[in-house]
Amino acid sequence: MTDVGTSYLRYTPRERTSVAVSAVLGFGLDFYNILIISFLMGAIRHSLGISLTQAGIITSVTLAGSVVGGVFFGWIGDRIGRKNSLLLTLGLFSGAAILSAFSWDFVSLLIFRAIAGIGLGGEWGAGMVLFNEVWNRNRRGLGSSIVQASTAGGIAAASIVAAWALGSFSDNWGWRVALLAGGSPILLMIYVRFWMPESRLWQEYERLRKAGDLPPEKATARSPLVEIFRGASLRYTIVGFLVVMGYMFSFYSITVFMPGLMTKLGAPPEAVRSATLLLAVCLCSVFFIVGWCSDHLGRKLGVIIPTLVCVAGFVGIYACGAEKYPGSILLWPLAWWYALWASGTSSASMFGPWFSELYPVELRATAVSTIYMVGRGAGSMAPYIVPVVAVSFGDNILDGMMIGVAGAVLSLVAALGLPETAGRSFAVVESKERAVTS
């Protein structure tokens, strides 16, 4: 067994920093591109004459594209390298974001957002796997949490840029400018291409594969898309999928509908934006705490404890969900319960390191990306289910949002079914029925 502690697999501080910077910027811009469309859809509908149904189709197609991209580019990451996969995804979603800004009707916007979705779906897995293969094994939780915390930056940036663009330009150009800003990862590609290293763990495995020096069970293995559903990997894949699906269902059941609920309760647009920024600050702070704790107490507790906080947030939101906006976000209990709920969603910071530590190098990118994106796709059914539940409770959207508790509970219970892996060493060649603890 060849361990990553071997000298030729080590990285300089500069190389590790370059991987961390690219991962943070890539995921932050990824989240910006995912959320910006929701802040702009009203202006887009007015400018292009798109119906509410067509707006929903655009969102659905983007999410569907991310599932396809997650599976495809995860496989690409195991075949031609993490760095090459990351470059392809950055190019695809940034190029499509730029094209989206020049859409002229529903069909053109639909096509460009579908392409962007494919690129967005592949970026997380490629960047997160590379990061975890390069980073210190005893600090993967904290490091991955810092990367995941960039989602808070993406949320804040989408909110701020959308408000600025819509307020500074005409109805026909404001949304285009905001979408155009989503093409900035093209600049990140230059940084990745020239300064970021490839995973030496993957490179060494490829060297052994091409030289014919792999053990027979590795040399005769099928495609990673097949192998993640065989042997020990089968249970990890299914349980991991349930963890992510439950999390995403819980996440979308609140985030999609909370701005509308706040507006219904009398909050002006600037108050809703302030609540979003409060959420982002709280979430970012808690990410660091959860990541540090997971390196010392384990990945499992890194999911279980925040998810319990998330459930408490659901309870508070329901209890205060009928209170009118008092004129200040700081005096509004709903905003603080919303922030507490968001803090509980910091369990997502465990997905990158935990799933990476469960699989061998030749399956890692495929497994991590597929689990995350397929789980996200399944969890994104929440925006369709919440209104149905709301109607059955007298058209009360708050009651409908509470269905997200079921997703949080599913994620929590499923997490109990995965083994602890914190601090696990990676190796170039690992047995299929490998030990999952160090």
Domains along the sequence of the chain with CATH:
7-415 (1.20.1250.20)
Average of per-residue pLDDT across 127-144: 91
Residues in the chain: 438
Q: What percentage of the chain reaches a pLDDT higher than 70?
A: 96
Average of per-residue pLDDT across 311-318: 96
Residue 384 is predicted with a pLDDT of 84
With 60 as the cut, is the pLDDT of residue 434 above it? no
What is the rounded distance in angstroms from the CA atom of residue 251 to the CA atom of residue 155? 14
Average of per-residue pLDDT across 21-46: 82
Least trusted range by pLDDT, from 64-68, 87-91, 232-236, 256-260: 256-260
Residue 5 is predicted with a pLDDT of 45
With 50 as the cut, is the pLDDT of residue 3 above it? no
With 60 as the cut, is the pLDDT of residue 36 above it? yes
Residue 52 is predicted with a pLDDT of 73
Of 427, 366, 359, 361, which is closest to residue 125 (Cα–Cα)? 366
Between 260 and 351, name the one with better pLDDT.
351
- Taking residue 364's Cβ as centre, other Cβ atoms within 10 Å add up to 30
What is the rounded distance in angstroms from the CA atom of residue 82 to the CA atom of residue 22? 12
Residue 6 is predicted with a pLDDT of 58
Burial of 116 (0-12, 13-18, 19+ CB in 10 A): buried
Structure tokens at 152: 């808070």
Within 8 A by CB and 6+ apart from 68, the residues are 117, 118, 121
Residue 8 is predicted with a pLDDT of 55
Residue 435 is predicted with a pLDDT of 41
Alpha helices in 220-268 (DSSP H): 224-227, 232-255, 258-264
Query: For residue 337, what pLDDT band results from cuts at 50, 70 and 90?
Result: very high
What is the rounded distance in angstroms from the CA atom of residue 52 to the CA atom of residue 45? 8
Structure tokens at 252: 């979308």
What is the rounded distance in angstroms from the CA atom of residue 427 to the CA atom of residue 6? 10
With 60 as the cut, is the pLDDT of residue 406 above it? yes
Average of per-residue pLDDT across 179-184: 84
Least trusted range by pLDDT, from 269-278, 345-354, 386-395: 269-278
Summary mean pLDDT of the chain: 87
Torsion of CA 354, 122, 130, 178, to 10 degrees: -110
Query: For residue 1, what pLDDT band results from cuts at 50, 70 and 90?
Result: very low
Residue 2 is predicted with a pLDDT of 42
Burial of 217 (0-12, 13-18, 19+ CB in 10 A): exposed
Alpha helices in 101-231 (DSSP H): 106-134, 140-168, 174-180, 185-195, 200-211, 216-219, 224-227
Taking CA 213 as the corner, what is the angle to CA 212 and CA 215, rounded to the nearest 5 degrees?
110
Query: For residue 123, what pLDDT band results from cuts at 50, 70 and 90?
Result: confident
Q: Residue 97 CA to chain centroid, in angstroms?
A: 18
Residue 415: phi, psi to the nearest 5?
Answer: -60, -30
Average of per-residue pLDDT across 315-322: 94
Residue 4 is predicted with a pLDDT of 43
Residue 436 is predicted with a pLDDT of 45
Residue 438 is predicted with a pLDDT of 39
